Amino acid sequence: MKHGLYQRIAVYATVALGGLTMVLPFVWMLSTSLKTTAQSMAFPPEWIPNPFVWENYTRITDYMPFFLFLYNSVKIAFFVVFGTLLTCSLAGYAFAKLRFPGRKPLFLLLLSTMMIPTQVTLIPVFVIMKYLGWINTHYALIVPAFFGSVFGTFLLRQFFLGIPNELEDAARIDGCTPWSIYWRIMLPLAKPSLATLAIFSFMGTWNDFMRPLIYLSDMTKMTLPVGLALLANHQDIRIPLIMAGALLSLLPILVLYVFGQKYFVRGIALTGMKG
């Protein structure tokens, strides 16, 4: 009995220590965002600001068009998530439930592209975007999402495989077409996996630094990650302002995760139950 109790205490202590280790950088970010420049450079570090400098959150707009960058990031992330969910759900349903020649080899070929590093495709994709005239436009960041993603297609295919075929057969008997089955039956059942993919897609787009840096050159079209990098290179910038900007950029992700956590956990648990 005591051995089991000690085991639980050790597990809880380890988990608590790991959680504290991951939370500390965010606590430091919040603390630094409320300090003066002198306090942020002090050694040993001061965890509690004295006084609290709330003006850091308003002064950030003096150094960068924060709300314009925020709007650009929200717009791009919204369309990327929408395009990813639409195309990946269609492809996942097709690979899971439709029968057509070469289905398995084609899916294996699609999965094999996950082994290609993103850096390898940067130049070819840039050449394509330049040929289309989409350099320095948001189209270069949005349109590729409407061609799907390998991870999203795999995630939703695994979920659709777990849906009994009898449900689909009953819908066909009632006169449903493949599109009706996809729209009226499969999508409502796939809400947990769709929420999971939406969170992953939003986080990847929101934190994307490389592609906006490559494709965009106009300051009015920049996203928040690039804007914060430019803010860090400002000659008169202060560390508390950078921390304030970084903390504000994290809020949408935190809000999305809090409201979608239930679907996120359920989607991860249900996906991959059938191969």
pLDDT in tens, 235-251: 566 788 888 888 888 88
Distance CA 185, CA 198 (A): 19
Condensed to tens digits (0 to 9), the pLDDT of residues 121-162 reads 888 999 999 999 999 999 999 999 999 889 999 989 988 988
State residue 39's pLDDT score: 78
* Those residues with Cβ within 8 angstroms of residue 20's Cβ, 6 or more apart along the chain or in another chain: none
Name the residue among 209, 190, 163 with its Cα closest to residue 85. Answer: 190
Residues of the chain with pLDDT under 50: 272-275
Architecture of domain 63-270: Orthogonal Bundle (1.10)
State residue 42's pLDDT score: 75
74 alpha-carbon distance from chain centroid: 12
For the chain, the domains span: 63-270
* Residue at 47: amino acid letter: W
Q: Is-contact 221 14, C-beta < 8 A?
A: no
Q: Is-contact 270 202, C-beta < 8 A?
A: no
Identify the DSSP state of 134: -
State residue 234's pLDDT score: 64
SS3 label, residue 273:
coil
State residue 275's pLDDT score: 45
Identify the DSSP state of 182: I
